[in-house]
Amino acid sequence: MIKGSLLWNCLKAAVGAIPLNLMMSAVTLVICIVLGTLIAMVRVYKVPVLKPVMDVLMALSKAFPMNLVLLIFYLIWTTQFSSIAAFFHSQKTIKDVSLMYVAIAALVFCSLASISEIIRSGLISVDKGQYEAGYASGLTKAQTFFHVIVPQAVRAVIPPLTNDILSLVKGTALVSVIGVSDILTDSINAASAAYSYLEAYVAAAMVFWGIGIVLERLSHYVERKFSKSVKTLAG
């Protein structure tokens, strides 16, 4: 039987951790979009030497489960921190650096391939005639890419990217395996005194469900905005 007062306490604790989870997700997403776009362009336009290297990197990123990557990154961080600090001539100790950065690095590694593939599929989905239309109207290659290709590609990638963002937000619940605080961890801590964890899991589920609803609505809004911009450009 779920206790209402305990559920409320767990819910408050889970809600309090939302900014941290969203911050980790947002930083990871920005890094993945920047790197993923560069990797996607290398693969779409078949840049010599770099393309096979990126293909191998993407294969590695897809191969490992997130909790395993988190543990590997954590062990590398704890055992090699002194060497890393010495390489950068830093006087910081391992206690001076938050494990959140290790979590973000692991999340980037796990999410990069999927996001890059989505961006690559968006670039491929734009008809080659759009390039020719841009050149014919006097635009340079760069102008054609940013003003003609990118808006149409973004429209194509928003729905699948939304699913990846939701997966990324849910994936932040795994950072507790390396001791990083998050929605699930804080909710469980609130329930630990009573040794009743069902309320903690329900509270965390409610919070993740709420975040999912908000992200879905935001994605629909952005999709409509880009749809209008593409129609205006076509007109």
pLDDT value at 224 more than 80 = no
CB < 8 Å & 24+ apart, contacts of 216-221? 216/162, 216/166, 219/158, 219/159, 219/161, 219/162, 219/165
Give the position of tokens 């809600």.
Answer: 15
Pick the closest to residue 175 from 74, 91, 96 (CA basis): 74
Q: Residue 108: which pLDDT band, with cuts at 50, 70 and 90?
A: very high
pLDDT (mean) for 12-17: 92
Instruction: Reply yes or no on whether the pLDDT at 2 is more than 80.
Output: no
Check whether 23 has a pLDDT greater than 80: yes
**Per-residue pLDDT band at 1 (split at 50, 70, 90):** low
Query: Is 166:212 a contact under the CB 8 Å cutoff?
Result: yes
In the prediction, which pLDDT does 89 show? 84
Look up residue 156 and give its amino acid: A
Task: Give the residue-averaged pLDDT of 105-110.
Answer: 94
Residues 30/168, Cβ–Cβ less than 8 Å: no
- HSE at residue 46, side-chain half, CA atoms within 13 A, is 1
In which element (H, E) is residue 136 found?
Answer: helix 128-136
pLDDT of residue 227: 63
The pLDDT value given to residue 229: 55
Token readout for 193 is 């005194």
pLDDT of 112 > 80? The answer is yes
Which residue type does 196 have? Answer: S
Residue ranges and CATH numbers for the domains of the chain are 4-234 (1.10.3720.10)
Per-residue model confidence (pLDDT) at position 231: 52
- pLDDT reading at 192 higher than 90: no
**What is the band of 226 on the pLDDT scale with cuts at 50, 70, 90?**
low
